[in-house]
Amino acid sequence: MSHDTEHPDPRVARWSAAERADDPSAPDDVPGALGGSRLFEQPRYRAEVERFMGFAAAPGPVAVEVGFDHGRRLLSLAADDPTVRWVGLEVRRRRVEGLAQAAQTRGLTNLLAWRADARTVFRRVVPPGRLSRVDILFPTPWWHAGRRAERQLLTAAFVADVARALAPEGILHVATDVGPYFEHVAGLIAEWVAAPDPPPAPVPSRRAHTCARDDIPVFSGTWRVTAPRPAGSSGAK
């Protein structure tokens, strides 16, 4: 989706992808916001990895939303379809605690809120081919160039990790109001195949709501790593 309206934030037009973060030959260790992927080698974080692995091992599709913020969209998705097991990755502790509490209050056993840097989880933890869907809505643009070099989420290395994690017919759905960020993503996944958007979540994300309210242009797309398989062959779980 896109609009003709100009973005009211002048920083958007000046945004450019961090070159260092874009290196597809990034080392195996990811210097994430929460201590990097080596974190998971520490015994006290092992339990979190095992909790995720147990959640993802149950039968049925597993989907991930990265950076869920207050999590109302994710909560609505999990409530909408109990056959999908949703994992929310978010680095902000209070957001994660808030969503975990909300899921428990509503008895949603198909939602796991995990405080972790998505880059480290996709690099080190998610089993190959396990995910049916990855949603990344309004990834942080990191306006400060130094921060962006450290933390930009959508890089060639991260996209390669997402591609590995997706099932053959699994989809990546991305939305952002930072036009140059969307162009950057489109370049990263130029070899992927466009796919239909998933149905809109019953509750939009906070940023999606703000953009709609203020008529801010939004760019979004959905892609598969490979073309859909012929009917009868196995697809996304």
Ligand X SMILES: C[S@@+](CC[C@H](N)C(=O)[O-])C[C@H]1O[C@@H](n2cnc3c(N)ncnc32)[C@H](O)[C@@H]1O
Give contact residues for ligand X (rule: CB under 6 A): 33, 66-69, 89-92, 117-119, 137-140, 153, 205-208
Which residues are registered as beta bridge partners of 64? Answer: 87, 134
Tokens 């996209």 locate to 159
Tell me how far, at minimum, the Cβ of 189 lies from ligand X, in Å: 18
Tell me which residue has its CB nearest to ligand X.
Answer: 67
* Cβ proximity to ligand X, 147 vs 164, nearer residue: 147
| 118 or 216: CB nearest ligand X | 118
Tell me the closest approach of the beta carbon of residue 106 to ligand X, in angstroms. Answer: 20
Taking the least distance from each CB to ligand X, the nearer of 23 and 60 is 23
Give the C-alpha distances (Å, rounded to integers) separating 207 from 96, 121, 138, 214, 218. 17, 24, 7, 10, 10
> Residue holding tokens 């097991």?
85
Shortest CB 162 distance to ligand X, Å: 12
Q: Given the complex with ligand X, which of 61 and 98 has the nearer CB atom?
A: 98
Judged by CB, which is closer to ligand X: 74, or 169?
Answer: 74
CB of 51 to ligand X, least distance (A): 17
Closer to ligand X by Cβ: residue 22 or 90: 90
What's the closest the beta carbon of residue 187 comes to ligand X, in angstroms? 20
Q: If we measure between CA atoms, which residue out of 100, 186, 91 comes closest to residue 140?
A: 91
Q: How far is the CB of 235 from ligand X (least distance, A)?
A: 27
